[in-house]
Chain A
Amino acid sequence: MNYESKTSAYLDKVQTGFAVLLLLTGTVCLPDGVHAGDEFSFEFIEIEKKPYKAGGYIELRGEHLDINQGSVFSGLNLSDPELSTMDLLHGSVQLDGSYEYGITSFKVQLNAVGQQDNFGWSDLAVINSAYLTLQPTPAVTFSLGKQSYKWGKGYAWNPAGFINRRKDPNNPEDALEGYITVESDIIKSWQSGHLQTAALTMAVLPVWEGVNEDFGEADRLNLAAKLYLLYMDTDIDLIVLAGDSQSSRIGLDFSTNLAPHFELHGEAAYIPELKKTYLEEDNSTSIHEESAFSSLLGIRYLSENDITSIVEYYYNGGGYSKEEMTRFYQMAAIGLDQNPELGSVLLTRAREVSLKGYGRPQPGRHYIYAKMSQKEPFDLLYFAPGIMALVNLADQSYSISPEAVYTGFTNWELRLKFSLINGEEYSEYGEKVNSNKLELRARYFF
């Protein structure tokens, strides 16, 4: 260290010590504090950055369900056929943490859920994400660990989200568990021209014993890539998944504003070799390999009176036709009607194919999602009533859910929601476990 730098370091220490002394004695105010009269203040401590962050939320949710007695899924999922109502209390904690050091950072999200219902207590803890990031420049990021992917532009569904977890259209904004990947993200922006931004995200997703086992076949490596373009004010993603754990697939999505208050978005995905389980007429099962094309088209519109409407049509090319679903429901219904000895074979088969596709959320082919919500009607600040509908267009069954959300208490979110679930016999929503649901949810963020 030369003389100048020693002197500089000494002066820095003296200045720092003097500043600390002044602060401790209250002689000076922080230069960045703002006081608008005596009414409001903005202090330095409110914007001070620490290398670590910790937060999350605690959720308490109570639900009351009227059981759809005699329906296929109440028979398959509930052990007591006489059960007419069900009450459940659900508590969960989500913890978010991060630590930054230079160009590296570590982020983690944990979720623990406990539930008490008519059948007893159940609980589950999941690491949604835990990954290390290295960012040598704003344009380049490398990361390693478990990350949650939300690719695609659809609000309720993402047919092109090849490495996403399937989200629940009833709660599309909830956090989801990720996959363990090695990822690189490269961004390039331009000041002029039609192409404003290009960004390439590539993720290597291995499937080994204990690693991403639920993604597909084990002992395989998979590569997922997304090329994002902001071209002429339109967001465009080209997405590909190549590998052996799942069949390879390609997709694209887009989002653009046709007018300041009118957004249009869409997704398309093509899977050349989709392996799909079918229930045959003799109630046996078979696996077919076929191509599948899925697509989604949606709008988001903000009216003059602050009503936001989201409407999406989803064509699920990998789903089942109305006739194929009816075959499944009929087999399960016959199994439930017969005496336990005769029916057990059919019920076992129904439970088996339910897990292989027939029982997953939205197993059909044609769906409409619509949500309308009004922000702060009648000058009620932080209050947002809304209504959401989910319709299976093939069998005309539906779920309609009015809801009211209030966020007026700092760090609290309160939601009251009622769902009416209805449909004919052998239709998707006509064979659900419950015919309606009343839900009150409180979240406290910290």
Chain B
Amino acid sequence: MYTIIRRLICSMCMVFLLTGTAFALDGNEILRQVDANMQPQSYEMYRKLINIEPDGKKKEFVLYTVKSGQDKMVALFISPASEEGRATLRLGDNMWLYIPNVGKPLRITSLQSVVGGIFNNSDILRLDYGVEYDAVSATEDDKFYQLDLKAKTPSVAYDHLKMMVDKETLLPLTIECYAISGMLIKSLHYSKIKDFGDGMVRPSVLETDSPLHKGYRSVMLFAKVDKRDFADEVFTLNYLAKINELRK
């Protein structure tokens, strides 16, 4: 009799635990899948940044970007001519800017912006969300997951993010970026899902606006996101002047 009761209790516990696991949302697992869907671990891609002023005036920048592993990334400006050859390197929390005439890399910070406008360096040299943030809570409705993300270290540009994820595609739709004070710094909106080939289906447009810069908008267009492996030596200060030679 005692054995039967013990087995019954154990079975009930197992059922409870299993159903509990099935229903609890694992925000970090969703974030991991979002990261995997957004970009391969090592890749090259081209992006166009467009800053739009309230009067409609635009300024465009084209960047070639390479990334390797979790925390190595370089972005090279290939136009306009005034910015051509400038390159930014990120190794974990370290960031540098190389300007051809200056001829040596200068350390920069994630909240600075090398292009002006609403995109800052951390937006341009963005690592996987899961590298910089932990999901502290996750909720869902019929169509979306809502993730609350907290920065892992104080050196991350935004203290916390609110990310809305499409349940069907597991791709981000909007991300609100907050300062440690709770102030909304900017909102990011992903759109125009496109097949980049090699199984990479992801948004091709990122728009941002900020309550701190009312009337201003910045847009990032993505093209040619290709898986490609790079030697670690590419992500060094000595190589920054040669990044253009990686382009095919």
Residues of A within 8 Å of B238, CB to CB, are: 185, 187, 199, 201, 228
Can you sample 19 A-B contacts with CB below 8 Å?
Answer: A42-B48, A47-B64, A137-B231, A150-B102, A150-B104, A153-B104, A174-B101, A187-B239, A189-B231, A235-B237, A257-B109, A260-B111, A261-B109, A261-B111, A265-B107, A308-B112, A375-B112, A375-B116, A443-B82
Interface residues of A in 145-189 (CB under 8 A from B): 148-153, 155, 172-176, 185, 187-189
**A6 CB within 8 Å of chain B:** no
- Residues 184-214 of chain A, each 1 if its beta carbon lies under 8 Å from chain B, else 0: 0101111100001101010000000000000
Query: Is the Cβ of B110 less than 8 Å from the Cβ of A260?
Result: yes
Of B81, B155, B247, the residue contacting A446 (CB under 8 A) is: B81
Residues of A within 8 Å of B244, CB to CB, are: 49, 53
Residues of A within 8 Å of B104, CB to CB, are: 150-153
Residues of A within 8 Å of B99, CB to CB, are: 173
Query: Is the Cβ of B82 less than 8 Å from the Cβ of A412?
Result: yes
Query: Is the Cβ of B82 less than 8 Å from the Cβ of A381?
Result: no
Query: Is the Cβ of B213 less than 8 Å from the Cβ of A379?
Result: yes
Residues of A within 8 Å of B166, CB to CB, are: none
**A33 CB within 8 Å of chain B:** yes
Interface residues of A in 294-344 (CB under 8 A from B): 300, 302, 306, 308
Residues of B within 8 Å of A228, CB to CB, are: 237-238
**B208 CB within 8 Å of chain A:** no
Query: Is the Cβ of A189 less than 8 Å from the Cβ of B233?
Result: yes
Q: Measured between alpha carbons, how far is A41 from B58 in the docked complex, in Å? A: 13
Interface size classification for chain B: 35 or more
Interface residues of B in 183-203 (CB under 8 A from A): 191-192, 194, 197
Top 4 A-B pairs ranked by shortest CB distance? Answer: A150-B103, A189-B232, A445-B82, A445-B81
Query: Is the Cβ of A34 less than 8 Å from the Cβ of B81?
Result: no
Of A155, A175, A188, the residue contacting B101 (CB under 8 A) is: A175
Residues of A within 8 Å of B117, CB to CB, are: 381
- Residue ID in chain B nearest A384 by CB atoms: B116
Given A189-B235, A446-B81: A141 and B242 interface contact (C-beta under 8 Å): yes
**A10 CB within 8 Å of chain B:** no
Q: Measured between alpha carbons, how far is A153 from B222 in the docked complex, in Å? A: 35
Given A34-B222, A376-B116: A260 and B50 interface contact (C-beta under 8 Å): no
Q: Measured between alpha carbons, how far is A230 from B111 in the docked complex, in Å? A: 22
Apart from the given pairs A150-B103, A230-B237, A265-B107, 18 other A-B contacts in the complex at a CB distance below 8 Å? A33-B223, A36-B191, A47-B64, A49-B247, A57-B81, A96-B100, A185-B238, A187-B233, A189-B231, A189-B236, A201-B238, A230-B236, A260-B110, A263-B107, A375-B113, A379-B213, A407-B82, A443-B82
Chain B min CB distance to A253 (Å): 10
Question: Taking each of A138, A172, A256, which has the highest tally of chain B beta carbons within 10 Å of its own beta carbon?
Answer: A138
Interface residues of B in 20-75 (CB under 8 A from A): 46, 48, 50-51, 53, 57, 59-60, 62, 64, 69
Query: Is the Cβ of A381 less than 8 Å from the Cβ of B84?
Result: no
Interface residues of A in 124-157 (CB under 8 A from B): 133, 135, 137-139, 141, 148-153, 155
Q: Measured between alpha carbons, how far is A49 from B110 in the docked complex, in Å? A: 29
Enumerate chain A interface residues (CB-CB to B < 8 A).
Answer: 31-34, 36, 40-42, 44, 46-47, 49, 53, 55, 57, 96, 100, 105, 133, 135, 137-139, 141, 148-153, 155, 172-176, 185, 187-191, 196-197, 199, 201, 228, 230, 233, 235, 255-257, 260-261, 263, 265, 300, 302, 306, 308, 375-376, 379, 381-382, 407-408, 410-413, 443, 445-446
Residues of A within 8 Å of B207, CB to CB, are: 36
- Residues 226-248 of chain B, each 1 if its beta carbon lies under 8 Å from chain A, else 0: 00001111111111001011011
- Residue ID in chain A nearest B50 by CB atoms: A40
Q: Measured between alpha carbons, how far is A357 from B25 in the docked complex, in Å? A: 72
Chain B min CB distance to A147 (Å): 10
Query: Is the Cβ of A233 less than 8 Å from the Cβ of B93?
Result: yes
- Residue ID in chain B nearest A56 by CB atoms: B81
Chain B min CB distance to A261 (Å): 5
**B138 CB within 8 Å of chain A:** no
Query: Is the Cβ of B232 less than 8 Å from the Cβ of A191?
Result: yes
Residues of B within 8 Å of A138, CB to CB, are: 230-231, 233-234, 239
Q: Measured between alpha carbons, how far is A152 from B105 in the docked complex, in Å? A: 10
Q: Measured between alpha carbons, how far is A141 from B207 in the docked complex, in Å? A: 40
Q: Measured between alpha carbons, how far is A371 from B82 in the docked complex, in Å? A: 23
Chain A min CB distance to B95 (Å): 9
Chain A min CB distance to B209 (Å): 13
Given A189-B236, A408-B59: A34 and B93 interface contact (C-beta under 8 Å): no
Residues of B within 8 Å of A135, CB to CB, are: 242, 245
Of A33, A188, A260, the residue contacting B155 (CB under 8 A) is: A260
Given A40-B221, A138-B233: A382 and B59 interface contact (C-beta under 8 Å): yes
Chain B min CB distance to A414 (Å): 11
**B205 CB within 8 Å of chain A:** yes
Q: Measured between alpha carbons, how far is A443 from B81 in the docked complex, in Å? A: 11
Of A47, A141, A300, the residue contacting B107 (CB under 8 A) is: A300
Q: Measured between alpha carbons, how far is A133 from B242 in the docked complex, in Å? A: 10
Q: Measured between alpha carbons, how far is A152 from B95 in the docked complex, in Å? A: 18
Residues of B within 8 Å of A185, CB to CB, are: 238
